[in-house]
Amino acid sequence: MRAILVLLGACLIATTPAQRVWDDFLGGLSSQLPWGWQVSGNTPHNTYDSAFVQYDGERLVITMRSGTLYQGYNSIRNVPNLPVVPLRADWRIETRVQLLRNGASNAYVQAGVVLFRDADHYLNYHLVLEPGTNRLFVSTGAEWAGQYQPPGVASASWAPSQSDTVRLLIRQRVPGGAIHFYYDLEDGLGWREASGSPIAPSAVPALEAFLTQGGFVGLYTDTAGWSGVNPPVARFDYLEIEQTPLPQDVNADGCVDDADLLAVLFAFGQSGCALEADTNADRVVDDSDLLAVLFAFGSGCQG
C-alpha cells in the first residue's frame, strides 16, 4: 500500500511541472534569458545607461537616476526586464534588494519589482524610504491609463539599522484567486504578509491585464524627486519567476489552442505517470482530458 501511495504521489507531482526563470546576476544579466531595457511609453524608450549599471559579484547594482513612471512623467531609467506570458496558475515572482540611501531623506526613494504592460499600466512592489523619518517599509503602487491607483498594500516601517535589505514576493496560489504580497527582513522571522494583502486581481486593473494578457517583469528604481550629491543605490541579488502552467496548456506555451488539442488526440488512450496530455492527473488520457482542453480553449491566448 505504501508503494502505491508513493507512486500515486509521484504521478501527481510529475503532471504539474513548474516553469522557472532564475537569474542571480553572476557577472551580468544571463545571456540565456531574453533581457531587455525597453519600456513602451517611456522617454527614453530604451532605459539603459551603462554608466549607472554595474555587477558586483552576484549582484546587479543600479545607481539611481532622476526619473519615474508616476502619472504622465514616464521618465524612468535603467529598468532591466523580462517578457512573460499570461500567468494563470500557481505562480510567484521574487527578488532580493538592498537599498543604500546615501544620505537621501526627503523623498520616497524606491527599489523593487515592477509588473507592466507599458509605462501607463503597471504594478510595482518595492522597498521604500519614508521621508522625514528615514525609516524603511514595503509598499505597492499601480497605474492604469496614466492614473495612479495605489492598491493599499504596505508594511509597518523599521529602522535601516535593523535591515536595509528585503526579500519581496508576489504570489497567486490558485488560478483566479487573490494575490498575496510577502516580505522577509531576513531577521529570522521568515515571510510575513504586508497589510492590505491579499487583493483580488480585479481590484487592480493593471495587474489583471498583466495576468491575463502577459507583459514584462522588471527591476525598478525611482528617486521620487530626490536631489542631492550622492545618489541612492539599489543592489539586486536575483530575480525568480516561477509558474505551474495551466494543465490544459499541454505544450506550456501560454495558450490553450489547436496544438494542445492535437497533443491530447495523439496521446489518446495512453496511461501512466508524467503524461503531459493527462490534464486531470488521473494517469490516463481520455475523453475528460479532451473536454478539459475544449472548455479551456483560448485561455491565455493573446490577440
pLDDT tens track for 37-54: 999 999 999 999 999 999
Boundary-marking domain end, from 243, 263, 281:
243
- In the chain, what percentage of residues exceed pLDDT 90? 71
pLDDT tens track for 215-241: 999 999 999 888 888 999 999 999 999
Tell me whether residue 122 is in a domain.
Answer: yes
Strand partners, 126: 112, 139
pTM: 0.80
Confidence of residue 273 (pLDDT cuts 50, 70, 90): low
Helix (H) or strand (E) holding 183: strand 179-184
Q: Name the grid cell of 279.
A: 490534464
- Looking at residue 160, its pLDDT comes to 93
Strand-pair category, 165-172 with 179-184: antiparallel
269 with 176, same domain?
Answer: no
Strand-pair category, 192-193 with 179-184: antiparallel
* Range of the structural domain that residue 289 is part of: 3-7+247-295
196 with 262, same domain?
Answer: no
pLDDT tens track for 138-177: 999 999 999 999 999 999 999 999 999 999 999 998 777 8
User: How far is Cα 229 from Cα 233, in angstroms, rounded to an integer?
Assistant: 13
Of 121, 105, 101, 52, give the one whose Cα is nearest residue 80: 52
255 with 154, same domain?
Answer: no
Q: Is the pLDDT of residue 4 over 60?
A: no
Boundary-marking domain end, from 243, 258, 273:
243
Tell me whether residue 302 is in a domain.
Answer: no
199 with 261, same domain?
Answer: no
177 with 74, same domain?
Answer: yes
- Looking at residue 2, its pLDDT comes to 39
pLDDT tens track for 81-98: 999 978 876 899 999 999
Quote the crossing angle between the two packed helices 258-267 and 287-295, to the nearest 10°: 180
236 with 276, same domain?
Answer: no
- Looking at residue 6, its pLDDT comes to 37
Tell me whether residue 148 is in a domain.
Answer: yes
How many structural domains comprise the chain? 2
262 with 124, same domain?
Answer: no
209 with 289, same domain?
Answer: no
Tell me whether residue 271 is in a domain.
Answer: yes
Tell me whether residue 178 is in a domain.
Answer: yes
Tell me whether residue 50 is in a domain.
Answer: yes
CATH at 266: 1.10.1330
Tell me whether residue 86 is in a domain.
Answer: yes
Instruction: Say if CB 296 and CB 256 are below 8 A apart.
Output: yes
CATH at 224: 2.60.120.200
24 with 147, same domain?
Answer: yes
- Cα dihedral 124, 127, 133, 135, rounded to 10, equals 160
141 with 197, same domain?
Answer: yes
Q: Is the pLDDT of residue 62 over 90?
A: yes
Boundary-marking domain end, from 199, 221, 243:
243
94 with 216, same domain?
Answer: yes
93 with 179, same domain?
Answer: yes
Tell me whether residue 300 is in a domain.
Answer: no
Confidence of residue 64 (pLDDT cuts 50, 70, 90): very high
What is the mean pLDDT of the segment spanning 290-299?
Answer: 90
Question: What residues have CB less than 8 Å from 38, skipping those under 6 apart?
Answer: 45, 46, 47, 81
